Amino acid sequence: MPFLENPVSGKRKGYIEVIAGSMFSGKTEELIRRLKRAKYAKQRVEIFKPIIDTRYSEQEVVSHDANSILSTPVSSSGNILILAQNVDVVGIDEAQFFDMNLPNVCNQLADMGIRVIVAGLDMDFRGKPFGPMPNLLAIAEYVTKVHAICVKCGDLAQYSHRKTDADKLVLLGETDIYEPLCRLCYNEATRKGVK
């Protein structure tokens, strides 16, 4: 999305973009693509991720396809406001792991004329809205819903099915713990208790 300028005030308009979907759907890949394009356009870009996301790297946002971009790990959404000074674009990965103040932070950044691009899981492993994502989807000017491919039937997948008996909400993992499933296969797997 291009930077838009208000013809009356002459100020740059900020806005929020959300990329949402299940695990293995390409959310982070799309986030990285958009952020790299902004960098190529010589825009000032700052990228953030939750400090708990250390699956691939402590300092980079990394997609499942091993594409990466340097980021700043933060412990709370409030830190993003402090660190996002003099930038044109802010990228935020794994938004579902942030606190519920993240939508307010994104609104403040957009109100400052910053393009905010957020990626995250829209549902947890139970198929329920995840963390601040529902509120981010509600306030975003642009929403992109991406899908994985169901590993059982090959249809479009929107669920992140957990293959273990672990009950805790946040459990970092890859294909060893999660698999993308369509609605039908997810319902069958969870109804039968298949893990």
DSSP letters, 27-87, are HHHHHHHHHHHHHHTT--EEEEEETT--SS-SSEEE-TTS-EEE-EEESSHHHHHHH--S-
Neighbours of 6 (CB within 10 A): 10
What pTM, to 2 d.p., does this model score?
0.85
pLDDT(58) > 60? no
**Distance between CA 39 and CA 46 in Å, rounded?**
10
- The overall average pLDDT reported for the chain is 86
Active site members:
94
**Distance between CA 47 and CA 44 in Å, rounded?**
10
Which of 8-17, 29-38, 112-121, 155-164 shows the lowest mean pLDDT across its residues?
8-17
Q: Between these two residues, 133 and 71, which has the higher pLDDT value?
A: 133
Sole residue written with tokens 């606190």: 99
Q: Mind listing the pLDDT tens digit for each residue in 150-174?
A: 999 999 999 999 988 877 776 765 6
pLDDT at 55: 56
Q: Mind listing the pLDDT tens digit for each residue in 25-57?
A: 999 899 999 999 999 999 999 999 988 765 555
* Structural domains present in the chain: 9-146 (3.40.50.300)
Neighbours of 84 (CB within 10 A): 22
Among 77, 57, 62, smallest CA distance to 28 is for 62
Q: Is 23 left (phi over 0), alpha (psi -120 to 50) or beta?
A: beta
Percent of the chain residues topping a pLDDT of 70: 80
